[in-house]
Structure 1
Amino acid sequence: MVSFRWAFNEAQAHFEEVLRIFPDQPDAHFSLGVIFARKAKFDEALAHYTQAAEIRPDAATHYNLGNVLMKVDRADEAIAHFAEAVRLDPQMAEAQNNWAYALASQGRLHEAADHFAAALRIKPNLVEARLNVARIREQLGEAR
C-alpha cells in the first residue's frame, strides 16, 4: 500500500508542476481529479474535474464529476453530469448506469429503470446494471 501512496504523491507532484507551467492543461486537471478522488479528497477532486470540464468538456470528465458528486451526496448535480456524459458519448453504458443509480437515490424509480435498461442495451453484460434493474423491479413491485 505504501508504494501506491508514494506513486500517487509522485504523480500529484508531477501534475501540479505541469499546471504551474500550463495552468489550462485539461489532462493534468483530469489526472489530479483522479488522484484526489482516490485519496477521498473530494473537494479537490471536484475542483480539478470542474476545471478540466471547462477547458475541454468530454464524457469521461463529466462521468467522473458525477461519481464524485454522488460521493458527497449531491445527486442533483451528479445527474446533470451523467446526462452530459451520455450526451457526449451515447455508448457509455457506465454513465447510463450511474445516472440511473443517482435517479434511484432520489426515489425516481421509473426514470432509473429506463436508464438501467439503456445501459444494458449498450452493454448487455454490465453486471452492475443487471443487479440494479433487479433491485428497481423489486422496489417497484413493493410500491404497487
Structure 2
Amino acid sequence: MEQIKQQIDEIKEELEETPQNAALLNELGIGYHMLGEYDKAVQAYQKSLSQNSQDVRTHFNLANTFFELQQIDAAVNHYLDALDIQPDYVPALNNLADIYELAEEPDRARELFEYITKIRPDEAMGYFNLGNHHLRHNNTVEAGRCYKKAIELNPDFYEAYNNIGYMLKHLAQYEKAISYFEQCLTIEPSYQPAKKDLQECRQALQQS
C-alpha cells in the first residue's frame, strides 16, 4: 500500500512538468484504483481520455472503475468504447460478457465468450471461460467439451482438470473424477478445491 502511495506521489511530480500527459494520467488512475479511491481514479482516467480519446487501455481501466462504483451503464459504455477502437480486445470482451451474465442476459454473454474463442482459437483461457459459462447454466456437455479443448491447448491448465472432476463428482462418477483431481494436483499440488473434492470422492467410493 505504501509503495503504491509513493508511486502516486512520483507520478504527480512528473505531472507537474507535463500535466497533459495521457499515459501518466492513466497510471495515476491505476494507482488510485488500487488504493480503492475510485472517484479519484475516474477523474484521472477522464483527464487522460480528454488528451487521448483513442487509448483502449484507459477506456478499459475506466470501465473497471465504474464497475467497482456499481455504475454499470457507464462501465458498459467504456467497454464498448474500447471495443470500437479495438474489436478484438479480449479483456473488454470478457468483462462485458461477465456484466451481461450478471444482468441475466446469458445469450449475449455466451455470444461474446464464443466470439473470443473464434478470434483467439489457440488460447486456452477463452475455452475455459466459455466452459465456465456453460457450467453456470448447467450445460455440462458443452462445459466438458470446452474444458477438454482448454487442456488440449494447454496441458498444464490445472483449473480445467479440476472443473471436469467437479462435474464428474456431481454425476457420482467418482473414479473418473478422482483421475481428473489427481491430474490437477500433479500440476498444482496446493490447489485446495481439488484437494477437498478428491477427499470427498474417495470417501464416497469407500461408502458405496
Verify: 1:83 aligned to 2:148, yes or no. Answer: yes
- Counterpart of 2:163, as a letter, is N
Quickly say closer, same or farther: Cα 1:91–1:21, change in 2 above 3 A. same
Tell me, in whole angstroms, the C-alpha distance in 1 between the residues paired with 2:104 and 2:184: 27
Question: Which residue of structure 1 lines up, in the alignment, with residue 196 of structure 2?
Answer: 131
Q: Structure 1 regions of 5+ residues with no counterpart? A: none
Verify: 1:68 aligned to 2:130, yes or no. Answer: no
Tell me if the contact between 1:26 and 1:56 (Cα under 8 Å) persists in the aligned partners.
Answer: no
The structure with the larger Rg is 2
Tell me, in whole angstroms, the C-alpha distance in 2 between the residues paired with 1:19 and 1:89: 27
Question: Which residue of structure 2 lines up, in the alignment, with residue 31 of structure 1?
Answer: 95
Tell me if the contact between 1:79 and 1:103 (Cα under 8 Å) persists in the aligned partners.
Answer: no
Quickly say closer, same or farther: Cα 1:16–1:71, change in 2 above 3 A. same
Tell me, in whole angstroms, the C-alpha distance in 1 between the residues paired with 2:103 and 2:144: 23
Q: Structure 2 regions of 5+ residues with no counterpart? A: 1-66
Question: Which residue of structure 1 lines up, in the alignment, with residue 106 of structure 2?
Answer: 42
Give the total of aligned pairs.
140
The two structures, once aligned, show a CA RMSD in angstroms of: 2.2
Q: TM-score, normalised by structure 1?
A: 0.83
Tell me if the contact between 1:109 and 1:136 (Cα under 8 Å) persists in the aligned partners.
Answer: yes
- Counterpart of 1:31, as a letter, is N
1:100 is aligned, of 165, 171, 188, to 165
User: How much identity, in percent, do the aligned residues show?
Assistant: 26
Tell me, in whole angstroms, the C-alpha distance in 2 between the residues paired with 1:122 and 1:39: 35
- Counterpart of 2:99, as a letter, is I
Q: TM-score, normalised by structure 2?
A: 0.60
Tell me if the contact between 2:150 and 2:160 (Cα under 8 Å) persists in the aligned partners.
Answer: yes
Tell me, in whole angstroms, the C-alpha distance in 2 between the residues paired with 1:91 and 1:11: 33
Displacement of 1:26 in angstroms is 5.2
Quickly say closer, same or farther: Cα 1:4–1:41, change in 2 above 3 A. farther
**What are the Cα deviations for residues 23-62 of structure 1, in whole angstroms up to 9, with x where unaligned?**
5x25143332233345554332211100111121221111
- Counterpart of 1:10, as a letter, is A
Tell me, in whole angstroms, the C-alpha distance in 1 between the residues paired with 2:197 and 2:134: 19
